[in-house]
Amino acid sequence: MRITLLVLVLVTSLTRDASAANSQLLSEVDLLASPTSGLRFTFPLVMRNSFDLANPQLGGVGCIVDFSVMKDLTLTAGYLFVGLPNTGKGYESNIPLAAITIRHKLGRFEVSDRNRAEKLFGLPKSPIRYRNKVSFDVHSASDRWTPFVTNEIFYDFSQSAWTQDRLQLGIGLRLNPHVKLNTFFLLRSDLITKANDVHALGLMLEVNLTGKKAESAEHGEN
């Protein structure tokens, strides 16, 4: 019932003021490899296209390494290269990142809290951002279907302000033991201007290259 209400709220927000919002399609493929237990490499390929503006709005590649220190604690380090070819500036950014994620499972329910720091070299002022992302997942009995809700808030140290919020609602479908598809709606809010919201449909494909049932810690929008 709560999932249904969240869907209705999010669909309403996606259609509200559509003429003032930027509607986008987010596409991501994550190639996963777990050579040993507790160690996972993720190679994301990301594309962001707009229904209203010139495309692509964003393209990115990178490598992210997750290390499970203990059952509920994961340390992350990584690098992303991101291009913004059609945003009016043509910026390219090199982004080193580090994160700590605390995760807790209770039956079919899973809650995680990720704290991430990153520096955006190549953008004006090369800003440092802090990102806090809280995720709530519900695993089906067969673990084939996984509805999820996430909310992530951004703090930009160059502006000394909370600048962005991302609300995400979706569902994951395991196509086979090595491939999973996440589909989601995302509302990205600008907390500074209170305008320029982005309403997005997202598709994220996770492909496990090592034959183990490793999953990305994310639901898209790296």
Residue entry with tokens 């990205």: 188
pLDDT class for 194, splitting at 50, 70, 90?
confident
Of 90-99, 116-125, 203-212, least confident by mean pLDDT is: 203-212
What is the pTM for the complete model shown? 0.86
Domains and CATH numbers, the chain: 2-208 (2.40.160.40)
Reply yes or no on whether the pLDDT at 218 is more than 80.
no
What 126-130 contacts at long range (C-beta under 8 Å, 24+ apart), as own/partner pairs, is 127/156, 127/157, 127/158, 127/159, 128/156, 128/157, 128/158, 129/154, 129/155, 129/156, 129/157, 129/163, 130/154, 130/155, 130/157
What secondary structure letter does DSSP report for 88?
S
Reply yes or no on whether the pLDDT at 143 is more than 70.
yes
